[in-house]
Structure 1
Amino acid sequence: MKKAIAFLLLYSSFSCSYFEKKVPSEKELLEQQMKEINWKEIDEYPTVIECEKISNEEERKQCFFEFLTETIQQKLAVDSLANLFHELDTIEVKVTIFPDSALKFEPQFPKDTVAYDTIKIDSILHSRLVDLPKIKPAIKRGIPVKTQFILPVILKME
């Protein structure tokens, strides 16, 4: 019996080393988490109040892009952008939505474009695209993030 007790005490004192595992440092854990995150995709797309009631994520995304495109088209339709540049029927606009819901619009032109005054178009675009409805930014892992996309905006609706 004494041998059994001695054996159990000896075994229990050495067996603890089998349960010890190396605990990764905070930096190692962070690096591992950063590698696992797909930075090219977001969890939730930006949205506006009109689209929030839609539960399907793909339909909500489509609603947002349609809403923003239509709003930009309506604001630019009032202006003479289509009248100034008759050959221009569609313009691509790079939209940036920042985490604080701020917006930035940049017209995109082919690199070899000299047919129209890009500075004038940029100026008209910035002057007309004010007072847009509040846009909630995209979400990645519960944190608002910056997103960018290019929208084709039709200037001549006939």
Structure 2
Amino acid sequence: MKQYYFFLILGFFTSCQYFEKQVPSEKELLQKELKAINWKEVDEYPSFTGCDKLTEKIQRQQCFFEYLTQLIQDKLEVDTLSVLYPELDTIEVKVTVFPDSRMQFEPQFSKDSTAYNIIKIDSILHARLVNFPKVNPAIKQGIPVKTQFILPVIIKVE
């Protein structure tokens, strides 16, 4: 019977209410989780239907960039950019993929690019870079997000 009282007293003094731990608030947990997320990288890169079959993240990314670059080059191949501006062999295109699967293209020119008419090139690119296949947006934490990247596009193929 003495042993019973000993365990009862021991259990009483070591119960959870005496060693209550501080429970973090909802805001503290949210801030901790937000700090743990790498906001500079997405979980899944944008992809086209053909690239969805690949399982590796890097392969899917490479497939997307190669396919998009090829599509842009094919659309610009039929144009007169290489004739009008023979010194212009590569254009950097800023590509934005929105969460609703829309894509936007903006040519990027260096500050010292006065040798050619930027406005004319920009209008040609906007006219040509339309009607792309459906793209699946990038995914971050299970949510579609907007992504931007710059693609170097070779317009003069020799």
**TM score, norm. by length of structure 2:** 0.90
Counterpart of 1:68 in structure 2 is 68
Give, in whole Å, the separation in 2 of the partners of 1:140 and 1:74: 31
**How far off is 1:27 after superposition?**
0.8
Counterpart of 1:39 in structure 2 is 39
Whichever residue aligns with residue 95 of structure 1, its letter is: V
Identical-residue share of aligned pairs (%) = 65
- Residue 12 (str. 1) matches residue 12 (str. 2): yes
Alignment of 1:49-60 (within 5 A): 49-60=49-60
Q: State the SS of the aligned residue for 1:45.
A: coil
5+ residue gaps, structure 2, are none
- Count matched residues: 158
Whichever residue aligns with residue 102 of structure 1, its letter is: R
Give, in whole Å, the separation in 2 of the partners of 1:145 and 1:157: 34
Counterpart of 1:151 in structure 2 is 151
- For 1:3-51, what per-residue CA distance to the aligned partner results, in whole angstroms no more than 9, with x for missing partners? 9649836952773333422111111111000000111111111100011
Q: Which stretch has the larger CA shift, 64-73 or 104-113?
A: 104-113
Counterpart of 1:118 in structure 2 is 118
Distance 1:11 1:56, change over 3 A: closer
Alignment of 1:15-26 (within 5 A): 15-26=15-26
Distance 1:7 1:156, change over 3 A: closer
> Which portions of structure 1, spanning 4 or more consecutive aligned residues, are displaced by more than 6 angstroms?
none
Counterpart of 1:139 in structure 2 is 139
RMSD, matched Cα: 2.1
**TM score, norm. by length of structure 1:** 0.90
Give, in whole Å, the separation in 2 of the partners of 1:4 and 1:61: 66
Whichever residue aligns with residue 48 of structure 1, its letter is: F
Give, in whole Å, the separation in 2 of the partners of 1:7 and 1:76: 84
5+ residue gaps, structure 1, are none
